[in-house]
Amino acid sequence: MLFNSPIFLLVFLPITLAAFYLFGRLRGPAAAVWVLLVASLFFYAYSSLFNFALFSATVVANFLLGFAIARVSWSARAWLICGIILNLCLIGTFKYSGLLVSSIDRLFSLTFVVPHLLLPIGISFYTFEQISYLMEVRASGRSEPSFVRYALFASFFPHLIAGPIIRPHQLLPQFHVPTLGRFDWPQFSVGVTFLLFGLFKKVILADGSAAFATPVFSAAQAGAPPGLFDAWGAAIAYTFQIYFDFSGYSDMAVGLGLMFGIRLPFNFNSPYQATSIIEFWRRWHMTLSLLLRDYVYIPLGGNQKGRWRRYVNIMLTMLIGGLWHGANWTFVAWGGLHGLFLMVNHAWRAVRGEREPNFAGRWAGRTVTLLAVIIAWVFFRADGFAAARLMFGGMVGQNKWLTGTSAQGGAWLSKLLSYGGINLPVGWPAGGLVELLWCMGMLIIVWTLPNTQQFLLGEGRTEEARLAWKPTPAWAAAIGISCGMAFTYVVVAENRVSEFIYFIF
């Protein structure tokens, strides 16, 4: 069930909200927890009963493992290792067995049968979250005594499918508060606004950018070399697509949590405004970055064993982070490229020092950082190295200037605007102009506007900022019109719902 689908927005969510607050008012927080658990399990079972059965088995197993780690002190470490191995074997079987077998098959020219297992939705997220639970139990010596609350921690539907990755200490205590299930209008209104912002990001900004990126990457996958403008246009469009898609999902998750009185961590902090790759990874997919730092980088030694060992640890962490995203060597290449960027960035800081750059230096750093990120996204988006080579060949001018493939995306915007009586021509040069204007608009948004939490909550925003949300009729009308356009386009105009990118990870 997708957050941007009519069945979720018009059926599942209203029923769940009504039951949550009704039972919370009549029977208290324990009943509210039960309502959320039943709704979350139904939400996941809706996609696949096999996925639901597998997920349920992991929840039971990890709850028992946590109990053993906390209660059997003489073998706590052994139980922890057993739990980590069990979870990693689970994700390894379903996510990486095909990659491993096919790689060995190609390397040694064998004739293995490559397994094609259906990837359970959200397995990358709930596996790492349950590993973090076992780690925290080992560190504190205390496990969650209630299976119901633990099951809700693992299955809470706003973050179950694609994050943000939640640590137990961030979520479990919120299920114990005596006010759970009591309606809070200010918090609920902020939650609804987060949800609408995320919906607009996904349906209008992300899907609009995908219309320019997908035709070129698909053509490259089929062996058609893109032109210079097409290749760069697609790479830049995908840069905006993945940001608005994933940050849109994260905003919707935060908003849904607030609507139930639950605070989830933010996952993005204007990453394309970063002035260095180091800063970029402090702003992009922040819950994953912190998880990799705490459970991979620091255990490897971090920066405590010399400069060169630090570089090795950075590269290993980024390679693992790349592999976490998908069972394809292009993801490893993406992680390795970012690892190289980080090594260069740290080496540059060691030479230059920690001096604060001036205005020109900040904008130069921001431009170079975004350019590096765009180049790396080609590996992330390409379906294989052959497609990536064609894309990079187009970006360095090996092919003609343009093929007109990316300009097909202008049809998406033209169709959207046609519902309002505005007709745009499609095809080069008109389609190319539409694409250029679209990407320029996206760049202005990510470089100059506050992000969602700054806009709605004032986090990191100066007091004198003019562009700030307030619960006023004017803001309600503006947000309602914008998000109404997004909802109408999906439900009425197109009658289609596109998946979020991170659903496949």
Query: So what's the pLDDT on residue 493?
Result: 46
Share of the chain above pLDDT 90, in %: 59
Among 5-14, 58-67, 451-460, name the most confident range.
58-67
Burial 344-374 (b: 16+ CB within 10 A, else e): ebbeeeeeeeeeeeeeeeeeebbeebbebbb
Give the pLDDT confidence of 173-208 residue by residue, as tens digits: 999 999 999 999 888 988 988 998 898 899 889 988
Least confident of 195-204, 243-252, 440-449, 480-489: 480-489
Contact 319, 332 (CB under 8 A): yes
Query: So what's the pLDDT on residue 503?
Result: 73
Rounded CA separation 447/458 (Å): 18
Query: So what's the pLDDT on residue 41?
Result: 96
More confident residue, 32 or 416: 32
**Percentage helix, strand, coil, to 5, in the chain?**
75, 0, 25
Mean pLDDT score across all residues of the chain: 86
Average pLDDT on 64-82 reads 91
Pick from 95, 101, 11, 107: which is nearest to 54 by CA? 95
Instruction: pLDDT band for 428, please (50, 70, 90 cuts).
Output: very low
More confident residue, 470 or 103: 103
Instruction: pLDDT band for 115, please (50, 70, 90 cuts).
Output: low
Specify the pTM.
0.89
Query: So what's the pLDDT on residue 480?
Result: 67
Query: So what's the pLDDT on residue 167?
Result: 94
Contact 161, 47 (CB under 8 A): no
Rounded CA separation 321/317 (Å): 6
Domain boundaries, the chain: 6-183, 189-275+357-504
Q: Is the pLDDT of residue 109 over 60?
A: yes
Rounded CA separation 134/458 (Å): 35
Query: So what's the pLDDT on residue 487?
Result: 60
Q: Is the pLDDT of residue 146 over 80?
A: yes
Query: So what's the pLDDT on residue 376?
Result: 97
Average pLDDT on 12-35 reads 95
More confident residue, 404 or 208: 208
Query: So what's the pLDDT on residue 500?
Result: 81
CA 142 to chain centre: 30
Instruction: Give the residue numbers marked as catalytic.
Output: 325
The alpha helices in 143-227, defined as continuous H runs, are 147-155, 157-160, 168-171, 185-200, 207-221
Query: So what's the pLDDT on residue 248?
Result: 93
Instruction: pLDDT band for 409, please (50, 70, 90 cuts).
Output: low
Give the pLDDT confidence of 307-362 residue by residue, as tens digits: 899 999 999 999 999 999 988 899 999 999 999 999 999 999 888 877 777 888 89
375: amino acid identity, one letter: I
Query: So what's the pLDDT on residue 490?
Result: 54
Query: So what's the pLDDT on residue 129?
Result: 94
346: amino acid identity, one letter: H
Query: So what's the pLDDT on residue 106?
Result: 78
Rounded CA separation 212/233 (Å): 7
Among 153-157, 299-303, 349-353, name the most confident range.
153-157
Q: Is the pLDDT of residue 425 over 60?
A: no
More confident residue, 480 or 149: 149
Task: Kindly state the tokens that stand for 150.
Answer: 């633990």
Please state whether the peptide bond connecting residue 450 to the residue before it is cis, i.e. omega within 30 degrees of 0: no
Please state whether the peptide bond connecting residue 429 to the residue before it is cis, i.e. omega within 30 degrees of 0: yes
Rounded CA separation 233/443 (Å): 13
Q: Is the pLDDT of residue 424 over 70?
A: no
Rounded CA separation 226/392 (Å): 9
